[in-house]
Homo-oligomer: A and B are copies of this chain.
């Protein structure tokens, strides 16, 4: 996670956002760039003490790591969004930005950008009306 706090970094990020997201990102008190760590396997011996072999047994190949990093970092992104909201702040996740540009400016080859999240207290009239949802039978099949 890269937290964008300086004005200099904010300006670089705003330039990389799609036009419709620039004003919001320029105004947010805090911005988080969330990324997947494609070299996460290096941490596994410390993080998975019950299965330290996972590093070499399951994740020796970079494409396998990238797929797992994407899945697991995206789950973490959802938890992060809920955590921000649980702390009483608004989280505005966005994927409308220049992904290669954000990677180059804020990350490196080992980190894949997932989303940019504006964080702060919402302004007046910040919300769209709640959109319709799919019905249960449109989403769930039982076998």
Contacts and interface: CB of A to CB of B under 8 A. Distances in A.
B71 A95 contact: yes
A114 to B, nearest CB: 7
A27 interface: no
Contact of A74 (B50, B78, B128, B142): B78
A126 interface: no
B77 A139 contact: no
B3 A140 contact: yes
Contacts of A115: 71
A49 interface: yes
A11 B142 CA distance: 15
Nearest to A4: B143
20 contacts: A1-B139, A1-B140, A2-B141, A2-B142, A2-B143, A3-B140, A5-B142, A46-B132, A47-B132, A47-B133, A48-B131, A49-B131, A50-B128, A70-B70, A71-B114, A75-B78, A76-B78, A78-B78, A78-B79, A82-B82
